[in-house]
Structure 1
Amino acid sequence: MGGVAAGPINEIIALQEKLNRSAVERLRQEHPSIADQINASRWMGEEPESLEITREKAAVVVEVLESTEKRCAEAIASGIRRIKGQRQLRLAADLLALLGASSVVGSLGLGRPTVAIIAAVITLAASGFKMVSEFVGSAPGGSANLTAQAVYERLSVAILDIRTWRTEIRILSRHSSSASEINEAIGKANALCRGIMADLSSLLIKTSELA
């Protein structure tokens, strides 16, 4: 069979397997003509394929990118909730710290130990709120090196990239008569999914578990 060298989708399938293994099996059943290609361990690029096969493969890639974008959006929503929660807790901690400091000053002037005890309790509560705010502000999974704000920013970039290549591949598969052109775009999407797999897949899984 004539054709052009097939573009790899192994990273795309690997990401989908990690996020939703059952969806990969469904894709194999729905696309029997390329079922052998829907495999994370298969690196394509040597065997030629027809334009028809390339377009069917593009449909699989678009579907996986759509589901990945949805998972990223869910993770962003979770990150926004964490950021808002952290800000509210920090505000409460600051107010309690201010109240505690004022009480300490008042107790010194009045010489009343009860007031001093109450002030100490308020100060302790402020410290507790601050500790909780730091926990809430961390990424799902308790990563000390990644805040909810950082996660939000990285996921936002990922969504933009996903949308770009999803749209590009969909347009090319519908209107381009060049299998090589479509495969080139698929290859770019495959590289994108490799990066998401390395940087964000564990986070997406954890966010789904917490939802």
Structure 2
Amino acid sequence: MPNGSLNRWLFHKPKKVLDWDGRRRVLADVPKGLNYLHHGWDQVVVYRDIKSRNVLLDQDMRGRLGDFGLAKLYTHGEVPNTTRVVGTFGYLAPEVTTLAAPTEASDVYSFGIVVLEVACGRRPIESWAEREEDTVLVDWVRGKYFEGRLSEAGDERIIGECEAEEMEAVLKFSLTCRHPNPLHRPTMRDVVAILVGEEATAAT
């Protein structure tokens, strides 16, 4: 893809910062692709490695999924059966690390982490200068939520482009995608309906 991967535009000190409108478009593009994988075919494709590095940007800066090396194919209604944990640390749903059972819901969890990356401009796990230990982004955002300062978690580079209420709504949505119980997470159809609009789900 001519514009490389999403993580390059978030973390590699790009000459031009990806603005909020561009980030929102990417957050709408990715679940449309995942919705097709989960619901739009006669079999289910669980992607298993959703992360900003695997979101590629085309000439129009639209998001596309790349690297299907860990994807798993299932029949609708089939119970996933695998014996080893695969994926990238920091993006894995809790049930994947304990049961090695990836599902559509575990893809939703990983997408919730990507939402955090896009909104906060921070990696899932990183060393921050003001802290001695590594900081887990999920825990940091959750702390802001309980302090009533959730909008402060937004990327400082796009301050003024996004209203505080919208940033809070996006971050709260990421919390829903990352619910510890996979049964309480939205489906990818629900995600598309929220981020794109109801019309986009009509064809799937």
The structure carrying a bigger strand percent of its residues is 2
For CA contacts below 8 A with separation 6 or more, give which structure has more relative contact order: 1
Q: Which structure is larger by alpha-carbon Rg, 1 or 2?
A: 1
TM-score by length of 2: 0.28
The structure carrying a bigger helix percent of its residues is 1
